[in-house]
A = this chain, B = another copy of it.
Amino acid sequence: MANFTKKAIRDSFIKLLNERPLSQITVKDIVSDCGVNRNTFYYYFEDIPKLMEDIFSEDLEEIIKKYPKIENAEACIDEMIDSALEQKRVILHMYNSTNREMYEHYLWNVCDHAISTYLDTLLDGRKISENDMHAIKTYLESFSFGMISNWLRSGMNEDIRSTLKRIREIKKEIMEDMISNCEIK
């Protein structure tokens, strides 16, 4: 089934985040905006932070699935940046009204989810050891987490694309190398 109700809750939340910071949004606000019972919110989401994760994780997941090849990693990231810029107000409302711990926890989960999806998509059935998987994920997550933190701190005004471009020049894409070095034949 298509979960129209869940989607409606997400949409209302985004709508409200366009209007005011996260700290001024209650569960009741969300459910009364879309006209569902408060319990229905808790049926789908543990709490508001989980709702945030859900929204951004799913968005990223969709984008990742569109670029299953390592050659297209650049295009994939570009689309993620576009997507983030489109939601700029929403993201900054969240960023500015979430405390450090919550923010880090949240961003880390989003990165973790996106990168797991990304690696699954890239590996596409190939197997590597748990250990290696962990190492690669840690590398990617740390880098992503840092990049995104920097960007958010600048109010998403930094030209993240050119920064990334320069990073790519300095340090060529090594993902495929890493994977093939780890691959169990």
- Residues of chain A having any CB pair with chain B under 8 Å: 1-2, 4-5, 7-8, 34-37
In the complex, the count of this chain's copies comes to: 2
CA A153 to CA B120, docked complex, whole Å: 57
Chain B residues with Cβ below 8 Å from A1 are 35-37
Partner of A35, one of B2, B5, B36, B37: B2
Chain B residues with Cβ below 8 Å from A8 are 2, 4
- Chain B: which residue is nearest A9 at the CB level? B4
Partner of A5, one of B4, B36, B37: B4
Excluding A4-B5, A4-B7, 10 further A-B contacts by CB distance (< 8 Å) are A1-B35, A1-B36, A1-B37, A2-B5, A2-B8, A2-B34, A2-B35, A2-B36, A4-B4, A4-B8
- Chain B: which residue is nearest A4 at the CB level? B4
Nearest-Cβ distance from residue A7 to partner chain B, whole angstroms: 7
CA A37 to CA B2, docked complex, whole Å: 10
CA A8 to CA B34, docked complex, whole Å: 15
- Chain B: which residue is nearest A40 at the CB level? B1
Chain B residues with Cβ below 8 Å from A2 are 5, 8, 34-36
Nearest-Cβ distance from residue A123 to partner chain B, whole angstroms: 28
- Chain B: which residue is nearest A37 at the CB level? B1
Chain B residues with Cβ below 8 Å from A35 are 1-2
Chain B residues with Cβ below 8 Å from A34 are 2
User: Can you list 12 A-B pairs with a CB-CB distance of less than 8 A?
Assistant: A1-B35, A1-B36, A1-B37, A2-B5, A2-B8, A2-B34, A2-B35, A2-B36, A4-B4, A4-B5, A4-B7, A4-B8
